[in-house]
Amino acid sequence: MGYLIILRGPPGSGKTTISRCLKNLLGDDKTYVLNLDDIATFEDNLKEALDRNYQYVIGEMNYGNSHSEEPEGWIRNFKMKGSTILSVILHSSFNYCFEKTKNRSTNPLSEDEMRFEYDKFYHSLLTIFAYKAKIKEICIDCEHKQTTQIAKEIVEAIHELKSISSPQRYSNIELESLRVRINLYKQIKEQLLSQMKLYHTQRKAELVKLISESI
């Protein structure tokens, strides 16, 4: 029995930084970091995580391909070992994520590339993973918190998820997560409405131009 913590979010949301902090908090020798976006080495890394019986496995995932969209298979390995599993969405604004990625030394992203990745995560991948994996998922607003604070909240959540002696406290964590999700869905709705409005304005301009040219 152990713990599987899956950190989810677009590039720049802090997955790698927070996983390092978690590893320090939980114990380097007890913890294994599993990159769920590295498709080529995933099977070997998953086997190592399972065979060596780490107490904590921390997964980092943005897109993950089938690891996001069809997670039942690899998640089942941890369920069969009796692991306590928690998925954590690390939420931050587009501007925050872009600032983190545009100047990084490896794989920097342009604004258009970041927008594509950000929208893909929030519009396509946000809800599908936990639903299909049938696991608990919380959402943490990371933008105005220190990395250590975020890591401690995750550790608290994963331990309280396992504990049956503190249901009320975990309920508070879920309520905070729900508040973040509601605000997030409102932002997504506003963004989609804005995009639709822009599209219709552009289409109207194109039609007006087409009509004027045909007269």
Q: Per-residue pLDDT tens for 18-55?
A: 999 999 999 999 999 999 998 889 899 999 999 998 99
For residue range 153-201, list pLDDT tens digits in order: 999 888 877 665 444 445 555 656 666 667 766 766 776 677 777 777 8
For residue range 88-126, list pLDDT tens digits in order: 999 999 999 999 999 888 889 999 999 999 989 988 888
Distances (CA, A) of 202 to 26, 54, 148, 208, 212: 53, 55, 46, 10, 15
Do strands 56-61 and 84-91 pair parallel, antiparallel, or not at all (unpaired)? unpaired
The answer to whether residues 132 and 73 touch, using CB atoms and an 8 Å cutoff, is no
pLDDT at position 166 is 46
CATH classification of the domain holding 109: 3.40.50.300
Q: Is residue 213 part of a domain?
A: no
Q: Is residue 182 part of a domain?
A: no
Alpha carbon dihedral 152, 142, 21, 176, in 10-degree steps, equals 20
Dist CA 118 CA 126 (whole Å)? 10
Q: Is residue 128 part of a domain?
A: yes
- Indicate if the pLDDT at residue 151 is higher than 90: yes
Starting at the earlier edge strand, list the strands of the sheet with 31-35. Answer: 31-35, 56-61, 3-8, 84-91, 136-141
Q: Is residue 132 part of a domain?
A: yes
* 3-state class (DSSP) for residue 70: coil
Q: Is residue 162 part of a domain?
A: yes
Q: Is residue 204 part of a domain?
A: no
Q: Is residue 11 part of a domain?
A: yes
Distances (CA, A) of 25 to 31, 36, 52, 158: 10, 21, 20, 13
Residue 122 lies in domain: 3-170
Q: Is residue 208 part of a domain?
A: no
Give me the number of domains the chain comprises. Answer: 1
pLDDT at position 156 is 87
Name the residue with tokens 């298979």.
Answer: 73
HSE-CB for 140 with a 13 A CA cutoff: 27
